[in-house]
Amino acid sequence: MANRLKMAEVHAIEALRAQGWSARRIARELDLHRDTVRRYLHLAEARSKSAHAPTGSDSPELARAPHGPGAASASDRSKPAIAPPGSPAAEGAEPAIAPAGSELLGEGMGAVLPPLHSGPISGCAPYRTIMEQMLASGLSAQRVYQDLVSAHGFTGSYYSVRRFVRKLGQAMPLPFRRMECAPGEEAQVDFGTGASVDGPDGRRRKTYVFRIVLSHSRKGYSEAVYRQTTDDFIRCLENAFRHFGGIPRTLVIDNLKAAVSRADWFDPELNPKLLSFAQHYGTVILPTRVYTPRHKGKVERGVGYVQDNALKGQRFASLQAENEYLLEWETQVADTRIHGTTRQQVQKAFADRERPALLALPLERFAFFHEGQRTVNRDGHIEVDKAYYSVPPEYLSRRVWVRWDGRLVRVFNARMEQIAVHAQHAPGRFSTDVKHIASRKVCGLEQGAARLLAKAALIGPQTARWAEAMVQQRGIEGLRVLMGLLALAKRYPCAQIERACQVATSHGAYRLRTLRELIGRQGQNQEQFEFIDEHPIIRSLAEYGQVVQQSITEKWA
């Protein structure tokens, strides 16, 4: 049984044939077999001939025309399928039948948009104009589907609407929006491949050409470098500012590694050194979206202009020779040209409008420094050029940024807030700030005798008296005894320590072991008694003298 097509497909075949398409091309566009397309084209021709035949005539091709609910009625077959433009029949006839998935450009104009895609015709094709209006008003695919069902009797699925909406977006791309900037507002920056340099040893070295273009006047500056490091990038920007005699308010760059640590269209992470450079010169750096070179189209073409006009076929003996040539070319060729877009001389537009609008240069150049990340060691120090520098204890084992310039070493946290500063030392030296030592790690001996005695006085007056007497008697070794005395205050009540110190002072005992024993036994104070001369049970000295005299007489008698 031969394939029987839907009326929408039959109309599409006839409309494309009217536009001069071949059967092969129609079959490929509608994803049909060529024999099927030819058969329906023959039927269309037969209907066209029968429309001009006398009334009552018939044709064997019409007998083989498709039948069914979608087939054309006899009255429809009596009308020509397509009337040639400008013919009398076309003036009173209905508009030409558009292919499924296409739309008439205007009422009665007969112009047809190309079909959205090849393959089966979407059920959304009859609603294309309505859907385009909905999408233009900002409605989502889900809302378009809901409105089609409720207001237009759409019977298809949501997924068919979503597919058709996606293909509508592909079929009708929007034009790019051209952005022009006010004088002094923006400059665009990029790198490209420069001319090669033949070194003294005969080896050829590759170079990169730095290019910056002021967006308003198209005034540019070019410089060749061997590498695209952060220092090279900053040095080129600074030389460009000096060449312009001012600073643009914003710099549009791509996501080169020398400038952008982490690419993100919404919140990019810039190199901290480049941020310091931008703050020094009062400008703002704005990276473009990744893989979107049109966001800096002015400098993209500017790099190509330098490569094709200035450097193509050139070779230099040194990097300095290449930069001298670029500077001369910039002033003698690039600045004197009439720009193809602005239709003005670049140098004149720069001098008249953009140069007065640039920001003023600072008095000093940007202070170059070395920079890197370090991990804080277990001893609370970081290593910079084989010397060691302390940081606050809360940054132990964390990553910090370090900048050094031969005179100072400055340490920053992740938010680029300065947390420490040291004078740079020779290799092998340590620089430790006392403020960076945790209080729990400060030894009692380092606190000194005065501070330890003051802490002992907080226990009580007897303890203070014993501690002062102990230090006077034992000297420097008494500092450790003081530390032991303060440790007793963590284990025993102050009242017990006070009584022990009172007893020890009364006995002249100034050892810590004595205090521990007294606290454990809670010993009594040593009482002192006065001597008395006379007492009933005590003989007088005169009696003792008589006894002695009598003993001596008896011995010599």
Is the pLDDT at 383 greater than 80? The verdict is yes
Is the pLDDT at 40 greater than 60? The verdict is yes
Is the pLDDT at 65 greater than 50? The verdict is no
| 447 pLDDT tier (thresholds 50, 70, 90) | low
Q: What's the mean pLDDT in 32-48?
A: 85
Query: What was the pLDDT predicted at 103?
Result: 41
Which of 170, 154, 41 minimizes the C-alpha distance to 117? 170
Query: What was the pLDDT predicted at 236?
Result: 95
Provide the 3-class DSSP secondary structure of residue 484: helix
Q: In this predicted structure, which of 107-111, 185-189, 255-259, 448-452 has the lowest mean pLDDT? A: 107-111
Query: What was the pLDDT predicted at 382?
Result: 94
Q: If phi over 0 gives left and psi between -120 and 50 gives alpha, with beta otherwise, what is residue 424?
A: beta
| 190 pLDDT tier (thresholds 50, 70, 90) | very high
Q: Residue 147 and residue 139: Cα distance in Å, rounded?
A: 10
Residue 397's Cβ-side half-sphere holds a number of Cα atoms within 13 Å equal to 1
Is the pLDDT at 400 greater than 80? The verdict is yes
Q: What's the mean pLDDT in 421-434?
A: 90
Query: What was the pLDDT predicted at 440?
Result: 65
- 414: amino acid identity, one letter: A
Q: Residue 494 and residue 205: Cα distance in Å, rounded?
A: 81
Q: Which residue has the higher pLDDT, 404 or 533?
A: 404
| 507 pLDDT tier (thresholds 50, 70, 90) | confident
Q: What is the sign of the dihedral through the CA atoms of 493, 496, 502 and 505?
A: negative
Query: What was the pLDDT predicted at 27?
Result: 85
Query: What was the pLDDT predicted at 82?
Result: 39
Which of 125, 51, 132, 34 minimizes the C-alpha distance to 87? 51
Query: What was the pLDDT predicted at 370?
Result: 85
Q: What's the mean pLDDT in 233-237?
A: 94
Find out whether 382 and 268 touch, Cβ atoms under 8 Å.
no
Per the structure block, which two tokens stand in for 63?
Answer: 């007998």
Per-residue model confidence as pLDDT tens digits over 84-136: 444 433 344 344 344 444 443 333 333 344 444 445 678 888 898 899 888 88
Alpha-carbon dihedral 276, 280, 281, 286, rounded to 10 degrees: 20
Q: Which residue has the higher pLDDT, 171 or 265?
A: 265
| 453 pLDDT tier (thresholds 50, 70, 90) | confident
| 336 pLDDT tier (thresholds 50, 70, 90) | very high
| Residues in the chain, total | 557
Q: How far is CA 15 from CA 62, 71, 154, in A?
A: 19, 17, 25
Per-residue model confidence as pLDDT tens digits over 286-333: 998 877 777 777 778 889 999 999 999 999 999 999 999 999 999 999
Share of the chain above pLDDT 90, in %: 34
Q: In this predicted structure, which of 196-200, 361-365, 433-437 has the lowest mean pLDDT? A: 433-437
Q: If phi over 0 gives left and psi between -120 and 50 gives alpha, with beta otherwise, what is residue 406?
A: left
Is the pLDDT at 23 greater than 50? The verdict is yes
Q: Residue 199 and residue 315: Cα distance in Å, rounded?
A: 11
Query: What was the pLDDT predicted at 514?
Result: 87
Whether 370-438 and 186-357 are alike in CATH topology: the answer is no
Which of 1.20.120.80, 3.30.420.10, 1.10.150.130, 3.40.50.9100 is the CATH number of 186-357? Answer: 3.30.420.10
Q: Residue 305 and residue 220: Cα distance in Å, rounded?
A: 11
The whole-model pTM stands at: 0.49
Locate tokens 């501690």: which residue?
A: 467
| 531 pLDDT tier (thresholds 50, 70, 90) | low
Query: What was the pLDDT predicted at 83?
Result: 40
Q: What's the mean pLDDT in 513-523?
A: 80
Q: Domain segments of the chain: what residues?
A: 1-121, 124-174, 186-357, 370-438, 444-521
What DSSP element (H or E) covers 253?
strand 250-253
Query: What was the pLDDT predicted at 193?
Result: 93
Query: What was the pLDDT predicted at 116?
Result: 45
Q: What's the mean pLDDT in 445-469?
A: 82
Q: How far is CA 111 from CA 8, 29, 30, 103, 388, in A?
A: 18, 19, 20, 9, 80
Share of the chain above pLDDT 70, in %: 80
With DSSP H G I counted as helix, E B as strand and the rest as coil, what are the percentages for the chain, rounded to 5? 45, 15, 40
Query: What was the pLDDT predicted at 33?
Result: 86
Q: Residue 300 and residue 191: Cα distance in Å, rounded?
A: 9
Q: What's the mean pLDDT in 155-183?
A: 79
Query: What was the pLDDT predicted at 407?
Result: 84
Mean pLDDT, the chain, whole residue set: 80
| 169 pLDDT tier (thresholds 50, 70, 90) | confident
Q: In this predicted structure, which of 2-16, 427-441, 491-505 has the lowest mean pLDDT? A: 2-16
Is the pLDDT at 365 greater than 50? The verdict is yes
Task: Give the domain 370-438 fold.
Answer: OB fold (Dihydrolipoamide Acetyltransferase, E2P) (2.40.50)
Q: What's the mean pLDDT in 334-350?
A: 92
The phi and psi torsions of 342 (rounded to 5 degrees) equal -80, -20
Q: What's the mean pLDDT in 344-358?
A: 94
Is the pLDDT at 5 greater than 60? The verdict is yes
